[in-house]
Structure 1
Amino acid sequence: MNLNSNNTQWLDWAKELQFIAQSALAYCKDSFDIERFQRIREISAEILSTYSGLSVEKVKGLFCNENGFQTPKLDTRAAIFDDDKILLVHETNGTWSLPGGWVDALETIKSNTQKEVKEEAGLEVTASRLIAVQDRNKHNDPPYAYNVCKVFVLCEIIGGEFTANIETTETAYFALDELPVLAEEKTSKEQIAMCFEAYKNPDWQVKFD
């Protein structure tokens, strides 16, 4: 859920209420407590609806549809270089990003990175080096209503070529000073610059928030 606002204090409150309610509902047994925490969850959805312009039903579907202890989602992004240029994939909405996506069940950070590159760029790669682990809401706009850990991984091509797919329309390599319009919610210029630094530095120290 993308949320555009200059002041996101309300978003922090809604997220914390949602976290408290969801975690409590995973463990509490008392019927009265369950009713109270369900109401707290509804209040968090109403806050998001009021400030985001989305309907309460839409917010509940996106924000209040999970059970169990709430943890951040994982997103992997691959940094692939050729002749000092980085590979980007062209999204169907016209913007560009590093190939990647949500970590699927049964996948590791390494295998998911390689899988996403194959699906979006048609390339077979080996994930060779960890670049960074970032809190998405500290580095990408607009903020999301849930937390995401973004993992950037340096990869090396071992084969393959681009094939048409439902997520991307083409791939291309870009120098840092010639980047196209980016999908800022997925990949920022600062994140790409970080990948360039890691690529050029064999002694790179992994960054993390």
Structure 2
Amino acid sequence: MNETQPKWLHWAKQIQGIAQTGLTYAKDVYDKERYEQLRALSLEIMSEYTKMDARILAHLFAGEEGYATPKVDIRGVVLKDNRILLVREKEDGEWSLPGGWADLLLSPTEIAVKEIREESGFEVKPLRLLAVLDNQKHNPPAPYHVYKLFIHCEITGGQAQEGLETSAVRFFAEDDLPRLSRNRNTEEQIKLMFDLLRHPERVPVID
């Protein structure tokens, strides 16, 4: 377990995972009822400690079905004149690499290209995978367990343009980063991207 993750969050996510998997495979109506109780307990724990509305939490997890696995977040990494492309999120007013949840029927590189176009206005081509990071080790505590994929892309066209979820598009130097949307990406992750791009001989970081 990540030492920076509160024990209550670790336990709540474990309970949620057990409940989700149990509801998927249980046949007996009484077993299903017990798994529903476990899910409700995990949501109660999260609501108590995060102060997030229980109804919102229930909505977040209600659509989760099947064997419980980590979610996948794809981030596009674009460098121009030694500056990195970031977009300002309308949700919190803070900055992130363009990206989002993986979509069904699209490959990771296709998602990176789509997200960069939709959030920044730039057309890009994917070059290589830079890193696969576990959010439990590299991000603030969150309800979801997420694998974050960072994909290096090169601009081929388009122009800076805000999107439905973004309010600004800019390139930033490594020593002049704005306030970051830390659940999406941290300063340490952005600096890791700069380092990996300075050393293309390095293999992707997987942690």
TM-score over 0.5 for the pair: yes
Distance 1:81 1:20, change over 3 A: same
Quote how far apart the aligned CAs of 1:7 are.
6.5
Q: How does 1:101-140 map to 2 (within 5 A)?
A: 101-140=100-139
Partner of residue 81 from structure 2, selected from 80, 83, 89: 83
Q: How does 1:1-209 map to 2 (within 5 A)?
A: 8-92=6-90, 93-141=92-140, 143-209=141-207
Quote how far apart the aligned CAs of 1:57 are.
2.6
Quote how far apart the aligned CAs of 1:87 are.
1.1
Secondary structure at 2:163's aligned position in 1? coil
Whole-angstrom CA distance in 2 between matches of 1:200 and 1:158: 21
Please tell me whether the aligned partners of residues 76 and 152 of structure 1 are also in contact (alpha carbons under 8 angstroms). yes
1:122-179 CA deviation, whole Å, 9 max, x = no partner? 11111101110011122112x2111111100111111111224221222211111111
5+ unaligned residues in a row in structure 1: which ranges?
1-5
Whole-angstrom CA distance in 2 between matches of 1:28 and 1:162: 50
Structure 1 length normalisation: TM-score? Answer: 0.91
The residue identity in structure 1 corresponding to 2:168 is: E
Please tell me whether the aligned partners of residues 18 and 64 of structure 1 are also in contact (alpha carbons under 8 angstroms). no
5+ unaligned residues in a row in structure 2: which ranges?
none
Whole-angstrom CA distance in 1 between matches of 2:15 and 2:188: 31
Whole-angstrom CA distance in 2 between matches of 1:186 and 1:105: 20
Distance 1:37 1:154, change over 3 A: same
Distance 1:7 1:73, change over 3 A: closer
Number of aligned residue pairs: 203
Among the aligned pairs, what percent are the same residue? 42
Whole-angstrom CA distance in 1 between matches of 2:166 and 2:174: 21
